[in-house]
A and B are shown apart, each in its own frame.
Chain A
Amino acid sequence: MRDLSLHLLDIITNSISAGASHMMIRINADHRKDLLTIRIEDDGKGMSPEFLKRVTNPFSTTRTTRKVGLGLSLFKEACEITGGDLLIESTLGVGTIVTAVFGISSIDRIPLGNTGETLSGLISSFPDREFAVVFSNDQGEESGLDTVDLRERLGDVPLSEPDVYVFVRDYIQEQQQIILGGI
C-alpha cells in the first residue's frame, strides 16, 4: 500500500463485512510524542478470542474468494517498521477497535495520504451506514465530519450523489490538511 489512507480503506471494509452500522475513525498527530495514531472503532459482530489471536496472520481470513487475508497483516507491518504497534480489541456481538500507532518522524513511515477519498468512497457505497472521522493534534485542535450531520443537511438527497461524493472527499481532505498538515 502506497499510503495509510489506503490501509484505512482496507481496514474499514473489514468493519463493513462484519456488519457494522457505525464506524468511528480518529486520527491524531502528536508531534511532541512523535506519534501518529489511527483508531477505527466499529459496532460489527466482533471476533472470538481464538480468531483475534491469529487475525494478523496472512493465512487467516473469513473470505471465501481466496485463502489469504493480507489487510491487517500489511497494516501491522506498516506500523511496526516505524517503531509503532497495532492493537486490536474485539468482543463478540459488540464490535472491534483497531488502534494503529506510527512513529511520525520514522523514515519508514508512509504518508497519511487522502483520507477524503477513502471516506467519500465508503460513504457513497454504503449510504445506509454511519461514518464519522475526527482529526486532532497536540495543539488541542479537532475537526472532522459525521454522516449524521450530512444526512441532516441533505434531507432526502442520497449520500451517493456525485456532488456529495466530491464535497465529502474535498471537505475531509481539507480538514485533514488544516488539523494535521502535510503528514
Chain B
Amino acid sequence: MKSLSELDQIKKKAQLDMSARNRSGKRIVVGMATCGIAAGARPVMSTLVEELRTRKIADVSVTMTGCLGLCRLEPIVEVIDADGVKVTYVKMDANKAKRIIAEHIINGQVCTDLTISSEEAQ
C-alpha cells in the first residue's frame, strides 16, 4: 500500500536533481477537451510523463490544454521548443507517444509520419 511518506523520498531526490538541471525550455502540450479525452488523450499524457520519468528527462514539461479546434484529429500533441517552434502530432496513442519521446525529444528527429502535415497529405 502506498503512503504519503513516499513523498519525502521523492522530495529528497527531486531537490538533488533540480540543482543539476539545464532548462531546455521544451514543452509538450496535450489537447484535453471533450474531443481529446474521448479520443484517448489521457493515457497519451500518462505515457508521455512516464517515458520522461523512465528516461530521466527532467527538463521537459507535459501539460494539458483545451480544444485546439481540430477535433477529428484528436488526440493532438504539440511539442514546442524554447524558440516557440511547434510541431503538431495528430491521432496519437501510447505507442506513438513513446516514439515522440525517443525520436523527437531525445534524438531531435521530428516523427514526420505522425505530424499534422503528413495526415493532411493523405
- Mark A residues whose CB is within 8 Å of B: 1, 6, 9-10, 13, 17, 63, 65-66, 69-71, 74, 117-118, 120-122, 124-125, 149-150, 153-157, 160-167, 169-171, 174, 178
B-side contacts of A156, CB under 8 Å: 15
Please tell me if B38 contacts chain A, counting CB pairs below 8 Å: yes
Chain B interface, DSSP helix/strand/loop, else mixed:
helix
CB within 8 A of B49: which of A17, A65, A124, A154?
A124
A-side contacts of B66, CB under 8 Å: 13, 17, 63, 65
- Mark B residues whose CB is within 8 Å of A: 1-2, 4, 6-8, 10-11, 13-15, 18, 32-34, 37-38, 42-43, 45-46, 49-50, 52-53, 58, 61-64, 66-69, 71
Number of A-B contacts (CB under 8 A): 99
Q: List 11 A-B contacts (CB under 8 A).
A: A6-B42, A10-B33, A65-B66, A65-B69, A117-B42, A122-B64, A124-B62, A157-B14, A162-B52, A163-B53, A166-B50
B-side contacts of A121, CB under 8 Å: 32, 42, 45-46, 64
**CA distance in complex: A84, B121 (Å):** 46
Q: Is the Cβ of A157 less than 8 Å from the Cβ of B18?
A: yes
Q: Is the Cβ of A165 less than 8 Å from the Cβ of B42?
A: no
Q: Is the Cβ of A6 less than 8 Å from the Cβ of B37?
A: yes
Q: Is the Cβ of A70 less than 8 Å from the Cβ of B34?
A: yes
* Given contact pairs A1-B38, A74-B34, A167-B6, A125 touches B49 in the complex (Cβ within 8 A): no
Residue of B nearest to A178 (CB): B1
B-side contacts of A17, CB under 8 Å: 66
CB within 8 A of B10: which of A65, A125, A154, A160?
A154
**CA distance in complex: A70, B38 (Å):** 11
**CA distance in complex: A117, B50 (Å):** 12
**CA distance in complex: A10, B35 (Å):** 9
Q: Is the Cβ of A153 less than 8 Å from the Cβ of B69?
A: no
